[in-house]
Structure 1
Amino acid sequence: MPTMTLSIPPDIYRRMKKHPEIKWSEVARRAIAEYIMELENSRIEMSMGEFREILGKETVGDIESIPNEAYDGYHKKTRDLEWERTKRNSTTQTS
């Protein structure tokens, strides 16, 4: 089985250490598997042209005018919010 290394914030790591009875690698494996299933079940595939058509020319122009630095910030915020949503919705726990 392939090995994956995860970076965990110090606060979460300390909290994890309070629960040595939990197999954290199993929690991570299940969370990743559930997340992939959710992605695969909800993903709608379309071409970039179709996506631009749905958005409309005005929206595409607005998006293209966003500076890269702002985009990077939005991307990080979105990723963090998605991670929080995933953690809230996850009921995975192993003992």
Structure 2
Amino acid sequence: MLASISRRAILGIYAIIIIVPLTVVGFGSFKSTQELFAGPFSLPQSLSPPTTQRSSAARTSARRSGTASSSPPSPCRSPCSWPAWPATPWPA
């Protein structure tokens, strides 16, 4: 009897440890950045995914460069120069 109660208590605690973080992450995915910093554990204001707003300067520079994608800029300078592979894999 006591083993059954302790087993259920351990499984209940384990379930809480798993379910609470998943719930926080799930609700956090519907929050904007401002909402996340204002109340990380509060419910989102709406259940629609947040939209990203690009500044007018970013839109203008994207139009000028011809890249209107929303991906972040590459960390390496154009063109990226990787070290050349040796002609032979092992020294002679």
Q: Normalising by the residue count of structure 1, what TM-score does the alignment of the two structures yield?
A: 0.27
- Larger relative contact order (C-alpha < 8 A, sep ≥ 6)? 1
Larger Rg: 2
Whose helix fraction is larger, Structure 1's or Structure 2's?
1
